[in-house]
Amino acid sequence: MSFFLLVIGVLKTSTSNKYLRSWSLLSASILLGLLPAFATLGEAVSSVQADQAHIQATQNITQKSAYSIHELKSASGMAVREYVSPGGKVFAVAWHGPFMPDLKQLLGSHFQEYRQALQGQDQRARRGPILVQLPDLVVQLGGHMRDFAGRAYLPDQLPSGVSAEEIR
């Protein structure tokens, strides 16, 4: 995974200017031709860069004891936080902004699982937030027009000691 190591190297050496940093990441990804079509939840940390390119965002990284948070802010005002385990896997994403995010991009390989679970629910009864709770996947969407928020996480991949309440 030389691409992965290169990206981490960029992250570690460039912390002063987030615009410079994001452009470094983006250009590294494009130069290597390694932008995956969709990846994120459950994928390696490199998928954060794919999301960053997809929504043309700037990025901030916050290191917590049990994980790191990669916060992306899109040009259209969507804030996306991706939670990365010490093993380098994205185990949760949360978002808030005036528009719906591209959920297919954020959920990656879990998008179909989410869609199928949603189709199995009685949508006519509920006119409000969406809640899909599966043993291995939780997706929550809330808000209203011009103000949307939500989160998705993999319950069996939360680092030990981390509760779902921290993902927001």
Enumerate binding residues for another protein (CB under 8 A).
55-56, 74-78, 96, 98-105, 107, 111, 114-115, 118-119, 121-133, 140-149, 151, 165, 168
Shortest Å, Cβ 40 to another protein: 13
**Contact between 140 and 94 (Cβ < 8 Å):** no
Shortest Å, Cβ 98 to another protein: 7
Task: Name the residue nearer to another protein (CB basis): 11 or 106.
Answer: 106
Task: Name the residue nearer to another protein (CB basis): 9 or 126.
Answer: 126
**Contact between 92 and 107 (Cβ < 8 Å):** no
Shortest Å, Cβ 143 to another protein: 6
SS3 state at 161: coil
SS3 state at 34: coil
Residues 6 or more apart in contact with residue 44 via CB below 8 angstroms: 1, 4, 88, 89, 90
Shortest Å, Cβ 5 to another protein: 28
